[in-house]
Amino acid sequence: MTTDSVTADGRPATQPWLHQRGDVVQEFGTVRQFPIALRPEVREYSAERLNRILADSQILYALYKKHHWLMRGPTFYQLHLLLDKHADEQLALIDSVAERIQTLGGVAVGDPRHVAELTAVPRAPDGVEEVPAMLSRLLEAHELILGDSHDAASAVAEKGDDGTNDLLVSGVIRTGELQCWFLAEHLVDTPLVHT
């Protein structure tokens, strides 16, 4: 072995350091100081509100994927594709919300077990529901997120956090409302032809 391929303690230089554990360098619910012209208490409030929306949105994303896989019936193909499209859009929103939390100096909730502790979205059954029930479940999750997002958008705007307000209004709310429209139209009972 050449000296280039060995570390100072004699380990091969290409051997990864496995099973690492580290100290928590920032607690969940705290914010670091960033020079973004927002007071720490405003950033902390916004990060806390966004983390609730982030947790609920992660559950909504998971429901979209679950229902996408479990879809059945004569509209299977259309709904299978629609739910996957909505899931992709939710995933993009999740990333934007998490990045905003980090921009505020906070810690974005990411562990699914922690998400389950924070979410207000009711747990779906483990099995397969009828198609209208699956769509209704998605609409109810959307409504919960939209209600929280409207309230949070107003509150953060009053505190001067325009960035969070913009994300909530132009991202979470507009996307959620559009997705609700597409889902709700699948629950309208209209005949294909009038006789």
Average pLDDT over residues 39-68: 98
Q: In this predicted structure, which of 3-17, 27-41, 148-162 has the lowest mean pLDDT?
A: 3-17
Evaluate whether 82 touches 46 at the Cβ level (below 8 Å). no
Domain annotation covers residue 25: no
Q: Which two tokens stand for residue 160?
A: 């001067």
Domain annotation covers residue 3: no
- pLDDT at position 128 over 50: yes
Domain annotation covers residue 48: yes
pLDDT for the residue 195: 67
> How many domains does the structure of the chain reveal?
1
Q: What does the pLDDT look like over 142-193, one tens digit per residue?
A: 999 999 999 999 999 999 999 999 999 999 999 999 999 999 999 988 666 7
* CA pair distance 37, 71, nearest whole angstrom: 47
Kindly report the CATH number assigned to the domain that includes residue 90.
Answer: 1.20.1260.10
* Residue 136, H or E segment: helix 131-158
Total-model pTM: 0.89
Domain annotation covers residue 192: no
Max distance between CA atoms of the chain, in angstroms, equals 87
Q: With bands split at pLDDT 50, 70 and 90, how would you rate the model's confidence at 23?
A: very high
Domain annotation covers residue 9: no
Domain annotation covers residue 78: yes
- What 3 state SS string does 29-52 have? CCCCCCCCCCCHHHHHHHHHHHHH
| Residue positions counted in the chain | 195
Q: Which residue has the tokens 């996408």?
A: 68
Full domain range(s) for residue 180: 35-187
Provide the β-strand partners of residue 6: 12
Please name which of 157, 181, 170, 155 lies closest in space to residue 93, comparing C-alpha atoms: 170
* CA pair distance 169, 13, nearest whole angstrom: 50
Provide the β-strand partners of residue 12: 6
- Average pLDDT over all residues of the chain: 93
Domain annotation covers residue 89: yes
Evaluate whether 90 touches 61 at the Cβ level (below 8 Å). yes
pLDDT for the residue 1: 45
* CA pair distance 153, 169, nearest whole angstrom: 7
pLDDT for the residue 184: 96
Domain annotation covers residue 15: no
* CA pair distance 100, 85, nearest whole angstrom: 23
